[in-house]
Amino acid sequence: MKKKTFISFLALLCLFGSELYGQVASPPTAGGSPEGAPAVIYGEINSFHDYDSLTVQIYEQYIWDNMALFRPITLKVPVEEGTFITGTSHRQVFSIATPPISRPSHISIQSENGYLLKDNLVFPGDSVRALWDDKKRQVIFNGPSEQLFTAQYRLSLIDNAERFGKSRSINTADPEELLARDNNRMLLKAHSDRYGIPVHIGPFDFKGHLKELEEGFRSLSKLPGLKYLDTLSNISQAGREILTADYIYRKSAHVFNRFFLLYSYAGDPSRTSMVNDLKDVVLGDIKDLRLPDISKVTQLYSAHFASHEFNRLKSIELLEGTSAHQTIMDDYSGELRERLLTYYLFRESKKMDNGLERTLASLETIRGGWYRERLLELVSGLQTGTELPSFTLMDTSGREFNLDSLKGKTLLLDFWYTGCKACISYHRNTLSKLEEHFGGNPDVVLVSISTDPGKQRWDKSRSQGKYTSDKLLNLCTLGTDHPLVKHFNVFSYPHQVLVGKDHRVYRTGGIPKDPDALITIIERIANGSQKDTLTTIER
């Protein structure tokens, strides 16, 4: 079938898709229906830009949007010029027919200019026709699944409008110094006079942020988007419930981010009393978040439930000392526990000294299925005692560099990417100290590995000296799809791996940030007094 004929067929399918798939796509049940059905999207783009192709990602199991973790089905979809005879002249057209999906899923459509859809809920058998009009800055949906897609688009507009209307703040220890610099005072006044948008500049106001945090937790039950969701009558109950859950849990992430910021600030030894203030003010709200009733089935299909519950349990752990991991094991059961446990271990295992052991123990409670497969992948990246396979990366001159050439030396591999603030901090506080200590030691090599997607970005960041230095061996993977990144399941940054002289992995993740402690470990590996252990797993 020719491409243009196929696109025309898909356009008709979008208009009659619910008739064609009506008997296949039934309301969701736990686990989904085994046969499944595709979701179909026919798209038109009215833009000043030329689109060559689009990248489509379909998550049947959405826990986290990090592709290095839960690799979605990925399609490369061509974009073609519209024609006069089809009424699409001066537009670009594309068509997407996903592989059959058996449960509520999430889909993203990305171009080189950004996302057309981001984490949109989609059901088996959904079909929709969509126009992305860049010139008029609007998106229009039509077809059997119009209401579901329109609801998500309008919900994003409500969300953006709420954020846009909030005042802005800049925290600085010396507001006067900042305002006196580079004509900032005049610029701020002119901006305020012209646009009426207040910008608060001042020292970090812990009490003010604490009050906003308390209000944030209590506002989750009365978010503006909830009123809109209550008006939806033309989409299924399952669709409305999942959209509600996704919306609330996504908004809660912003509130928890503020909590973790305040907790980090209060964790300074000179401010320990602030932790008690946090506990007094918000612990009760965190334990008993007043949210609409959301069923366990809906929680399974929500894109953001796992991250929400992780944030909630982690906050309680920080304030009370109770184990988030143990709470998951005690308070949840079935697939919901497996889902939360998988998310928790991917987030935390590489930060733990006993991350591998904790993950192996958790595997005993998950006998099969998708979650076990993901945890087995995680374990393979945590394994120690195995020989580092042969990997080729790019060096600063653009040539290939094979890690096999470093056999016989003790290695610290440090993975980072441009824009990672924690990576800057790690280089400043830890790696630079190791540079000084091991600078004249030919038997220890500190390897800086950037996962930036292009050499130009890597070169620029490298030259700034914030993420690395020319004292290190600088290499680049040119993206997160590199086999080395996948081998170690690198998904949070910075990430370190220790390799012994025999080229066997001593430790991946859970490596001390204290430079003195790390120097001791590296020296013991280098002189052979620190032995690695071989871990094995049953599949």
The number of residues making up the chain comes to 539
Exposure b/e, 313-326, CB count within 10 A at least 16 = b: bbbbebbeeeebbe
Cα torsion 239, 244, 249, 252 to 10°: value is 160
Alpha helices in 122-222 (DSSP H): 146-164, 175-180, 184-195, 206-219
pLDDT tens-digit map of 384-397: 677 888 999 999 99
Phi/psi at 30 (5° precision):
-55, 125
473-476 and 73-78 strand pairing: unpaired
| 505 CA to centre of own chain | 27
pLDDT at 379: 73
More confident residue, 411 or 112: 411
* pLDDT class of 64 with cuts at 50, 70, 90: confident
The mean pLDDT value of the chain amounts to: 85
Domains and their CATH numbers in the chain: 3-161 (no CATH), 392-526 (3.40.30.10)
* Phi, psi angles (nearest 5°) of residue 125: 85, 0
* In contact, 260 and 422? CB cutoff 8 Å: no
Chain segment 107-140, per-residue pLDDT in tens: 999 998 889 999 999 999 999 999 999 999 999 9
| Gyration radius (Cα) of the chain, Å | 26
- From residue 40, give the alpha-carbon distance in Å to each of 10, 101, 138, 145, 330: 7, 11, 21, 10, 41
The answer for residues whose C-beta is within 8 angstroms of residue 158's C-beta and 6 or more apart is: 224, 225, 228
| Residue 489 to residue 381: CA distance in whole angstroms | 5
Encode pLDDT of 338-368 as tens digits: 999 989 988 887 777 666 677 778 878 887 7
Residue 76, pLDDT > 50, answer yes
Please determine, for residue 23, whether its predicted confidence score (pLDDT) is greater than 50: no
